[in-house]
Amino acid sequence: MRGVTSEITERIVELKRSARELRHKYGSLEDLQHRIQQEGVSPDDHTLYTDLLEWRSIQQEMAELMTMLETS
C-alpha cells in the first residue's frame, strides 16, 4: 500500500507543478477561458486550447487521485 500511496503522491506533485506553470502563464483557468472566448483559437496555433484541455485534465486527475488517497 505504501508504494501505491507514494506513486499517487509523486503524481500529485507533478500535476501541481504543471498547474503552477499554467497559472504563471495565464493567471487562472478562468482567465484562460475568457481569453479564448475573447480572442478565439487561431487555426495555425492551438496552444491556448491545448493548454485549456491540459489544465482541465490536471484538475480532473488531481480530484481522482485525492479521492484515491482519502479512501486508501
Q: Which of 54, 11, 63 is nearest to 29 (CA)?
A: 54
**Would the pLDDT of 10 be above 90?**
yes
Residue 60 lies in a domain: yes
Number of domains observed in the structure of the chain:
1
Residue 72 lies in a domain: no
pLDDT of residue 1: 72
The residue segments making up the domain with residue 58 are 2-64
pLDDT in tens, 28-53: 999 999 999 999 999 999 999 999 99
Q: Are 51 and 35 in contact (CB under 8 A)?
A: no
Contacts (Cβ under 8 Å, ≥6 apart) of 25:
51
Residue 71 lies in a domain: no
57-to-9, 11, 30, 36, 51 alpha-carbon distances in Å? 17, 13, 15, 17, 10
> pLDDT-based confidence at 3, cuts 50/70/90?
confident
